[in-house]
Amino acid sequence: MNTLAFIIDDSAVNIAVARLLLQRLGWTVETFSSALPMLERLEEVQPAFMLLDISMPDMGGDLACRRIRSNPAWARIRVIAYTAHALDDERQAYLASGFDDIITKPITVGSLTAAVGRAPNTPAVHT
């Protein structure tokens, strides 16, 4: 079973928080400070899902999501927008552009559990 998750965010603090919470849920985590190295890594390994920040300097998450969705080999990857932009029209635009779900910052173990659950074969986490 695939227990790999990617976090793509240009904020080291956001990466650290998401990594800690995902690891508590049993996920193995790889992190990227921008979308370009993540896209290169997808050529080698595909995660079960990724938290993809919308606003990044080199390539926004919306464009990165479109690139992922254009490659049939990556069709099974869940792509979750990881953003502070949570207005209804923005949420609808993200879903329409190919994101599977949206998690708004700041994240919690509850919001992550609702979006991605625990990694396969991981015991329950008591909070």
The number of distinct structural domains making up the chain is: 1
Q: Which amino acid is at 32?
A: F
The predicted model scores a pTM of: 0.92
Here the tokens at position 25 are 């849920």
Which residues, at least 6 apart from 89, have a Cβ–Cβ distance to it below 8 Å? none
Is residue 26 situated within a structural domain? Answer: yes
Is residue 44 situated within a structural domain? Answer: yes
Is residue 95 situated within a structural domain? Answer: yes
Is residue 121 situated within a structural domain? Answer: no
Please count the other Cβ atoms lying within 10 Å of the Cβ belonging to residue 41: 15
- CATH code assigned at 29: 3.40.50.2300
Is residue 111 situated within a structural domain? Answer: yes
CA gap 29, 34 in Å, rounded = 15
- Per-residue pLDDT tens digits for 28-57: 999 999 999 999 999 999 999 999 999 998
- When the pLDDT of each residue in the chain is averaged and rounded to a whole number, the result is 92
| pLDDT band for position 72 (cuts 50, 70, 90) | very high
For residue 88, the model assigns a pLDDT of 85
Is residue 97 situated within a structural domain? Answer: yes
- Please answer whether residues 112 and 29 qualify as being in contact, where contact means their C-beta atoms are separated by less than 8 angstroms: no
| pLDDT band for position 125 (cuts 50, 70, 90) | low
- Domain with 93 in it: 4-116
